[in-house]
Amino acid sequence: MQTPVATTAKARPPLSVPFFYGWVAVALSFLTTLVGAGVRSAPTVFIHPLEAEFGWSRAEIAFAISINLFLYGLAGPLSGWLLDRFGSRRVMAGSLALMAVGVGLTTLMREYWQLLALWGVVIGLGAGGTASVLSATVANRWFVARRGVVLGVLNSAGSTGQLIFLPLMMTVIVTVGWRGGSMLLLAVTLAMIPLVALWMRDDPSDIGLTPYGAAPLSALGGAGVSAVDSARVPLRAALKTSTFWLLAGSYLICGATANGLVGTHLIPHAIDRGIPAITAAATVGVMGGLNFVGTTLSGWVIDYVAAKKWLALIYVLRALSLFILPFVTDFSGLFIFAVIYGLDWFATVAPTIAIASDTFGKRSVGIIYGWVFVFHQIGGAVAATAAGAVRVSFGEYHYAFIAGGIMALIAAGLALSIRSRPLPPLAGRTDAARA
């Protein structure tokens, strides 16, 4: 499926492999996203140690996490612009370096404002460069065939990162303290930077190739380029469509019910119910493992099933799992929740990106999906703080989880409302694209 074009000395792959080099780009993107997810989710297992050492309340720590989630989302459009301007390699290396600075300085933290600055601002912005906007960019630049599967695999990296890091981090924290956990994250983050710098490439054309499954003319900008693929839709044009706002609304709820609610408060909720911390973290790891399966499957499904219908079903399953969670009192109940929720945790990403790409074009998906992702993180930031406030006010998370289930059902309705037929040419597309 790989189609070479005229190759010069500069166009040779930096790593000799017997297969399409795009898979190297996928592997490096997967590992970078995995590490970013591990770093970004670390505050979840830091909540209790920080409470004990510094006396900060659950709500105060949750507010720092909210800043992290908000800036993680706000970095999405910025990341899309940077990816277009500077390429994947520079953005990935820069994001990893920024996270390393934040994690390293965390070990010196003494004041509450430092928590806000490091875990909220520095790590939030750094992790934003490893968000799903990166996955969308890599998948759409390197692949035509197998794009859905690649999207599924790349977006499963977030859950895989939690699968690996959360149980490991909890074990390290219990053994040597939370600063030891920070040093572990620092070492892994620093190790990824040279790998990305040496072997990541931004585009198939950089090494004399065309995207996997594409005809040669598609890569060269010839007559084989479709209108949707060659068009670049301005954000202002996308904002005038119902598709953008339905995606944004459903993604706001997705963020609220994922990163904000479950990602931040599941382990504290389990500990409140008497489940040991390491057991709770291990269950989250199981949830992450199941999500690897679910997210990869989600990418495969959208190659054959209407993306909006699949997206709606995912939200219905999420609602069911959240309605169960308030009644979890032991490990077996937590495990049942982990199975149901884990299968759809990040599964929303692939169909959301597919709808954006098919509606607005592959050349526009980075920036437009980046802004849709902002809404995801706004929802996450609000939910993280709100759920912490519910816990402080009522002594439990019961009402927060019920509210999350209701919102997930609303998100399913929004997904089904997305228009299924292609939009007419939008303002801002080229004359060639309109033709």
Highest-scoring range by mean pLDDT, 14-18, 312-316, 338-342? 312-316
Token pair 């609304």 in the structure block, residue: 249
CATH number of domain containing 373:
1.20.1250.20
Cα 388–60–387 angle (5° rounding)?
Answer: 10
pLDDT for 426: 46
Q: Which of 17-26, 187-196, 198-207, 208-217 has the highest mean pLDDT?
A: 187-196
Tokens 């000395």, residue?
Answer: 9
The mean pLDDT value for 37-48 works out to 83
Look up residue 145 and give its two tokens.
Answer: 């065939």
Summarised one tens digit per residue, pLDDT across range 130-182 is: 877 788 888 888 887 787 788 878 877 876 777 788 778 888 888 888 899 89
Confirm whether 8 is domain-assigned: no
Task: Please check whether residue 330 is in contact with residue 283, taking contact to mean a CB–CB distance below 8 angstroms.
Answer: no
Determine, yes or no, domain membership for 298.
yes
Query: Model confidence at 4, in pLDDT bands (50, 70, 90)?
Result: very low
pLDDT in tens, 85-128: 788 899 999 999 999 999 999 889 989 999 999 988 999 889 88
What pLDDT score was predicted for residue 359? Answer: 84
CA distances from 238 to 39, 68, 351 (A): 33, 27, 18
Q: Which of 175-184, 185-194, 350-359, 419-428 has the highest mean pLDDT?
A: 185-194
Residue 12 falls inside a structural domain: no
Angle (CA) 34 110 274, round 5° = 60
pLDDT, position 149? 82
Let me know: does 269 contact 392? Beta carbons within 8 Å. no
Q: Does residue 366 lie within any of the structural domains?
A: yes
- Residue 284's SS3 state is helix
Give the length of the chain.
435
Whether the pLDDT of residue 350 is over 90: the answer is no
Is residue 166 in a domain?
A: yes
Closest CA to 75 of 65, 67, 86: 67
Q: How far is CA 5 from CA 206, 207, 219, 395, in A?
A: 11, 9, 9, 64
pLDDT at 216: 61
Q: Is residue 315 part of a domain?
A: yes
Residue 214 included in any domain: no
Mean pLDDT of the chain: 82
Total tally of structural domains belonging to the chain: 1
Q: pLDDT band at residue 428, thresholds of 50, 70 and 90?
A: very low
Range of the domain at 317: 20-205+233-421
Read off the tokens for 79: 């990341």
Residue 8: pLDDT band (50, 70, 90) is very low
pLDDT exceeding 90 applies to what percent of the chain? 28
Asked if residue 13 belongs to a domain, the reply is no
CA dihedral for 167, 121, 188, 38, sign (positive or negative): positive
Q: What is the pLDDT of residues 279-313, one digit of tens each?
A: 887 777 777 778 778 878 888 888 778 889 999 99
